[in-house]
Amino acid sequence: MAKYVVIASSNGTVGMRAAAVVLASGGSALDAVEAGCRVVESNPEDHSVGLGGLPNLVGEVELDASITDGRTRATGAVAALKGYEHPISVARRVMERTPHVLLAGEGAARFAAEMGFEPAELLTPEAQAEWEGKLRDEYPDLEPGLLLYHEHAGLYLHLTRDPEKPAGGTVNFLALDTSGDLAGAVSTSGWYFKYPGRVGDSPIVGAGNYADNRYGAAACTGRGELAIRAVTAHSVVMHLSHGLTVRDALRRALEDANSLEDAYGTGLNLLALDPHGNHAAVSNRSGAHYVWMNEETPEPREERRKVVDAGT
């Protein structure tokens, strides 16, 4: 059995060392996944998470995140959070300081302020330029300021139909610490050009993130609506509870999600980690990867995800 393991979606590479340092020093899986996520959230070059995340239909960056504790099965999450760079840390405070699991929108922002988190401008010039460019491609004569989209967002729903625009997608971290505890963290700026207030699977515990010390932990990226409908992360862990290997549990859960019809895309990626340190990842698209580290690897290692064909 490995002393510790941390795995992540490929865009989590920049945060892997931070997570591994926590685990190598005997720290908790919870601290490790939070530390890894925070690095990604602060990376302005990743336009799918935190600072620099691509905005919604009206040009506002809304962040979703969740954290799961495999030992207690306690969870915390925030959705549609604006103005704070580290939703994963706000989610952890929700778990530890409130009787709730999920806070959303203005309530999540109020809570973040009350917990002492510093407000931040999340929309970087690069992300804003991309957003404005897409609007001007569609509407070359749009007035400066683009206020039309704030007043009449519902008229432009056709612009929301590109959920996979950010190259990296949501970030996932799963970890097993030296005490044998599992944890998961998921953070995202969500679907590019989403309708304001849209919530994906990332903050929905059981859909995009789940951890249970008895069986394993799992997390998702991609078309969040599918993971919500299929309760995908929980399904992976339940397959593990029935004795399937990590890879087979992932395959079964993704096959179930693949069976759903969806007019807006079917791309979905899963990864999982069991209590023995075994890990794997799958996707219904070719070319996807994930990264991992343990006490024997001084640098993150990248592996290709096994493809489970969506049949499309």
Active site residues: 170
How far apart are alpha carbons 109 and 83 in whole angstroms?
7
**What are the tokens at 152?**
């009449």
Is residue 301 within 8 A of residue 5, CB to CB? The reply is no
- From 168, 194, 175, select the one nearest 34 (Cα to Cα): 175
Q: How many CA atoms lie within 13 A of 153 on its CB side?
A: 13
Exposure letters 191-211 (e unless 16+ CB within 10 A, then b): bbbbebebbbbbbbbbbbbbb
Is residue 284 within 8 A of residue 307, CB to CB? The reply is yes
- From 247, 185, 238, select the one nearest 216 (Cα to Cα): 238
